[in-house]
């Protein structure tokens, strides 16, 4: 999930998107899709980006990139300072509107805080957007050694408790399309499908150091009426602190996700 582990009360963050976490550039996409793709890349970065960095990150030509930036700047979605680009004021307005109006985030916050207090670990609310896992809300553990996943950050829907929980509870045709997109061998694809079927049957996913060494994660789905997948609650903790607590932490996570699901009915 791209989690970081910090010490002495400090969480360590990368300055930009790791190459393995980058989104796939659109092929022959219409202009509005390319502009939104550029905005998505900027939203993922921890720091303002130069045009050269954006070219490398998006795979777009420089002339195409500048056309998209010009449109985004004109509408206030992107701003420029000293040759570096970052999300603009309209992007902030969108984020504020989302925080104040998302029924999923609003329904989840109180129970996420309670889970973090009970477990003394970090809790994330995630959802699936195309082939990515996006963090919508994050409650950090108050312990000096903790795991974290930035709000708004996204990672590929492939490995880790959050990704596997979301994939397992998607409609089968959507899940199969994402598995096909991984481009793995038929044998490996069959293994993944079987694992996801087992996760769906169990109602939760648990992984140990699958994405980040030393990180344990448990994830349970958040479902609205008609068992429609809305997201997942993921509890993450350093492996060194989980031993002997796995069952209790998993139970807390499943109960929290179920309580949020009931609130969305």
Beta strands in 62-145 (DSSP E): 78-81, 84-87, 122-129, 132-139
> Which position has the token pair 């996943």?
149
Instruction: Assess if residue 10 is contained within a domain.
Output: no
The residue among 95, 126, 149 that closes a domain is 95
125/201 same-domain check: yes
- What are the tokens at 104? 């999923």
Structural domain for 62, as ranges: 19-95
Model pTM greater than 0.75?
A: no
Instruction: Assess if residue 81 is contained within a domain.
Output: yes
pLDDT-derived band at 99 (thresholds 50, 70, 90) equals: low
Q: How far apart are CA 58 and CA 61, in angstroms?
A: 9
233/250 same-domain check: yes
What pLDDT does 93 receive? 66
Instruction: Assess if residue 6 is contained within a domain.
Output: no
140/239 same-domain check: yes
List the single range of 26-35, 52-61, 191-200 with lowest mean pLDDT: 26-35
Eight-class DSSP state of 21: G
139/26 same-domain check: no
pLDDT at 4 over 70: no
Eight-class DSSP state of 207: E
The DSSP element (H or E) to which 181 belongs, if any, is helix 172-181
pLDDT-derived band at 101 (thresholds 50, 70, 90) equals: low
CATH number of the CATH domain containing 132:
3.30.450.40
Most confident of 7-11, 26-30, 88-92, 147-151: 147-151
111/154 same-domain check: yes
Instruction: Assess if residue 166 is contained within a domain.
Output: yes
147/28 same-domain check: no
* Alpha-carbon distance values, 240 to 145, 160, 208 (Å): 10, 18, 11
Q: How many domains does the chain have?
A: 2
pLDDT-derived band at 32 (thresholds 50, 70, 90) equals: confident
Q: What number is the average pLDDT over the span 112-134?
A: 93
209/244 same-domain check: yes
- What are the tokens at 119? 């477990």
* Alpha-carbon distance values, 48 to 21, 25, 65, 202 (Å): 18, 19, 15, 42
- What are the tokens at 174? 């959507």
């Amino acid at each position: 999930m791209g989690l970081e582990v910090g010490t002495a009360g400090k969480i360590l963050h990368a300055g930009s998107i790791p190459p393995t976490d980058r989104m796939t550039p659109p092929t022959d996409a219409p202009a509005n899709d390319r502009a939104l793709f550029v905005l998505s890349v900027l939203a993922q970065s921890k720091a303002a980006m130069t045009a050269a960095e954006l070219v490398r990150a998006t795979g777009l030509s420089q002339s195409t990139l500048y056309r998209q930036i010009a449109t985004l700047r004109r509408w206030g979605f992107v701003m420029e300072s000293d040759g570096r680009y970052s999300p603009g004021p309209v992007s902030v307005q969108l984020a504020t509107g989302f925080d104040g109006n998302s029924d999923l985030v609003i329904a989840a916050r109180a129970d996420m805080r309670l889970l973090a207090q009970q477990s003394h670990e970090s809790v994330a609310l995630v959802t699936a957007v195309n082939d990515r896992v996006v963090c919508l809300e994050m409650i950090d553990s108050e312990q000096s050694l903790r795991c974290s996943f930035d709000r708004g950050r996204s990672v590929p829907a492939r490995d880790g408790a959050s990704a596997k929980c979301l994939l397992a509870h998607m409609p089968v045709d959507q899940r199969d399309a994402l598995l096909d997109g991984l481009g793995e061998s038929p044998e490996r694809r069959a293994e993944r499908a079987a694992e996801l079927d087992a996760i769906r049957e169990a109602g939760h996913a648990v992984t140990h150091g699958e994405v980040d060494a030393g990180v344990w994660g448990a994830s349970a789905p958040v479902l609205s009426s008609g068992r429609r997948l809305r997201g997942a609650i993921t509890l993450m903790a350093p492996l060194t602190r989980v031993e002997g607590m796995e069952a209790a932490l998993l139970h807390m996570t499943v109960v929290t996700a179920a309580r949020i699901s009931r609130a969305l009915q």
